[in-house]
Every structure is written in C-alpha cells, then in structure tokens.
Amino acid sequence: MIATWAQIGYLVAAVCFIVALKGLSSPKTARTGNALGAAGAVLAVVITFIAYKPDNLVAILIALLIGTVGGVVGSRRVQMTHMPQLVALFNGVGGGAAALVALMELGEVHDGETVAAIATAFTILVGAISFSGSIVTFAKLQELMTTRPVTFPGLPVLFVAGLLGGVAVSAWLVSEPRVWVGVLLCLLGLAVGVMLVLPVGGADVPIVISLLNAFTGLTVAAGGYVLGNTLLLVAGTLVGAAGTLLTKLMADAMGRSVFNILFGAVRGGSTLGGGTASERPVISGSAEDVAILLGYAQRVIIVPGYGLAVAQAQHTLRDLVEELQGRGVKVDYAIHPVAGRMPGHMNVLLAEAQVPYEQLREMDEINGDFKSTDVVLVVGANDVVNPAARTTPSAPIYGMPILNADEAQRVIFLKRSMRPGFAGIENELLYDPRTTLLFGDARESLAKLLASVKTV
C-alpha cells in the first residue's frame, strides 16, 4: 500500500490540476494555470519514483529524458498555426500510452476480477481509438492527406461492424483476460479510430480533436482504476470532463450536433473545404483607399482569423490599432469561438502581441455593436462572417452563429485571393457593394495600411 506521505503528495498534485483548469479559463490567468498544472505533474512523477521504486529504472529515465526533450523542443518550435496538430499528437500519445499500459497489466488481471477486467478492456479499446484517430487528425491538419472527408461505399457498415466487434471482444476479454485477446481488441480500436475520423473534414477536425481528448482522459481515468492510482483517476476525469464540455461548446458554436459533425459527410453535411472561387467582379482598393476609411471612422471592429496567424501579422495589426486609437478611433477585436483552428487560437495569438485583454470581445458580447460600426476590418477570416450561415440551408455552415459583420456600414477584407474559406464555400459578403478587398499577404498589407494611416 502506498505511504501516507505519498497520498498527501498526490492530493496536492490533484489540487494543482483542478486550480490549473480554473486558471486556464481566463487569458489573464492562463499562464499561471499552465505552470501550476505542470508543477503538479512533476510532483506526481517525483512521488511515483520515490514511493514505488520502479524496476528498470535506467530504461525509464532514458524514456523520460527523450520524452522531455521532444516535448520541450516541439512545443517551443511549433508555430501558432500548427498548434492544433501538436495538441492532436500529444493527445494521441496519451491515449496510446494508456492502451499499452492496460495491455501490460492484463497479466495481473485474474479470472473473477470483473470490474478490473472491464476497466482494462475499456482502456485498451478507447485508448486505441484515441491514438489512431488523433494521428489521422494530425495528418489532415498538417495536409499530409486531404482535408476533405474521406468516404467510400460501405464505410458506415464497416464502422458499425468494427464498433460492435470491439464491444464483443471487450466482453470476451472480461470473461477471459488474455494478452492476445487484448491485442486483438487494440487492433480493432485502431481501425475504428481511423474510420471515425476519415469522414470528418474542413473546420470540423478541431472539434474531433477535442472529442478524442475527452476519450484520452477517460482512458487515463480507467487506467488509474486498473493501476490503483487515485491521481490518475482524478486527472483523467478532469481531462475527460473538460474535453467533453469543450466539444459541446465548439459544436454549439458551429450550430451543429456532435453526431452531425462526425457522420455528416456520409450524407453530405460536413464542412468540406477545398472549394473554388467564382468569376464575379468584386470591389478592390489600395492601401491608401482603405486607410482613408479607417482613419476617418469613429468605430472600427477587427475580425481576426487563421490568415492572420499564417502571416504572423499580429504585431503589425496591434501597431495599426494603436495608431487608430491615437487618432480617437474606438477599436475592438471580435473573437468568434471557432476562429482559427481551435478555441482560444485568436486570443493566444493576440495576447502574444501584447493586445490588452479588454479589447478582445467574444461574439455574444460584441455582435450587437456591428450595426453602429463604421468599418469592420476582416483579417484572414472568412467562414465566421459568412452570411450563408443564416441564409443558405444547403451550406455546410448553415445554422452556425456568426459575427454580424454584414450589418456594419463598410466591410474591408484582407485576403490573399478569392479562394473560399475552410468550409469550402463562397462568402457573398465579398461581393456586397459595401465591401472593399485589399489583396496580398496580411502582414504586408497591414504594414502598408499602417504607413498610409499615418499620412491621412
């Protein structure tokens, strides 16, 4: 039995995890919350080494060193635009590790230990699903494979068969806890994970990452039961609950159900991506034209999107906003819940540029202000201001709450080209007579705008 001092240490680590989640709920406290969570994890690892005195210590330390170096280097070098891919990889590794641990513990599960066998089977199956599914989401976001939904005749039948087969083999494993049965269950889980994610495309992929994160949390919690480790139970439950809530919030922000997001492509309802632009004329302007609109406005709202992150233009945008504010223009940033590739993507990006938190206003808070706004400046966003979400039932984003940019007096889009957004559909707002397009790289365009505003 674990010593009392170690149990107290685990309790302190669990409290760190809980307080860390609370800290992550606000940009102002997110950095502290993240550090507190990391400190809790380090404390838990140290306690485990001292209390359990594990065998194969050298091999464990080598693996720990490799993982630490890989995590630090990967996290420091990853670009903000690739953060969702990193999250997918880390999540997949967690699910895979839980499944492997459960497989190794099968030898310790004996006939008659039904609850332990159920927890082990659950960990293997769901952990394998999370691992393979996360790898596919990484490949989609990294464009190692198509971002469009991948479907083929018989996929739904094959998926259901794999899922039912996983349940059947799980029951077999509970009645006969053998390693080879566990390996078979793991293989079924890997196949189900791939088939779960293949039909998902476009802007839906980050939502699936959040769902798989919840799966990983549940497997860690079940693994904690298998190992008799209360801390893993607590940590896994926290991750599972947070991932589930985040998935629900993201689905609500898209105006769709989780079931529709996962299986919508089977009947043509997923966000597809990869559309083409029409040949209709648009109104384009120069940096000087746009600078006049901005410089003489009284109220401006900035709508940031993924293109801002790709161009790494957040610092130039901040300088432009400060110049406008110096001229007496009221400026705010309108943050859509799914702008970018994951929740909070724009918040983190702008916080990196030292944009004051009070200028970042969420969709529900700022949507009523667009009617009294002179100019909306859309930087690298598209789908989150696309009126098709309200007006076109056949659109894949129909029903998604959007920012009411079309209610402003004038709209300016900073775009590289007329290529549609991640959802793969055109934005009718681009062709509105009130809309002006400034083509080019967002960073270069903002620099030109900044120079022109200073001369207005």
Task: Give, in order, the Cα–Cα distances in Å from 47 to each of 3, 15, 67, 254.
Answer: 10, 15, 19, 43
Burial class (CB in 10 A: 0-12, 13-18, 19+), 266: middle
**How far apart, in whole angstroms, are the C-alpha atoms of residue 91 and residue 121?**
20
**Which residue among 319, 383, 406, 432 is the active-site one?**
383
Specify whether the CB–CB gap between 203 and 423 falls below 8 A: yes
Work out the angle at residue 76's Cα, subtended by the Cα atoms of residues 247 and 447, and round it to the nearest 5 degrees.
90
The gap between the terminal CA atoms of the chain, to the nearest Å, is 75
Q: Which two tokens stand for residue 237?
A: 């439950």
Residue 138 parent element (H or E) = helix 114-141
Q: Which residue has the tokens 């066998």?
A: 117
**How far apart, in whole angstroms, are the C-alpha atoms of residue 25 and residue 372?**
30
Specify whether the CB–CB gap between 364 and 289 falls below 8 A: no
Residue 383 appears among annotated catalytic residues = yes
Task: Give, in order, the Cα–Cα distances in Å from 230 to each of 7, 20, 218, 314.
Answer: 9, 18, 14, 43
DSSP assignments along 239-304, one per residue? HHHHHHHHHHHHHHHHTS-HHHHHHGGGGT-S-------------B--HHHHHHHHHT-SEEEEEE
**How far apart, in whole angstroms, are the C-alpha atoms of residue 322 and residue 333?**
12
Please choose, from the candidates 225, 243, 240, the residue with its C-alpha nearest in 3D space to the C-alpha of residue 114.
225
Q: Which two tokens stand for residue 10?
A: 């685990």
Catalytic residues: 383
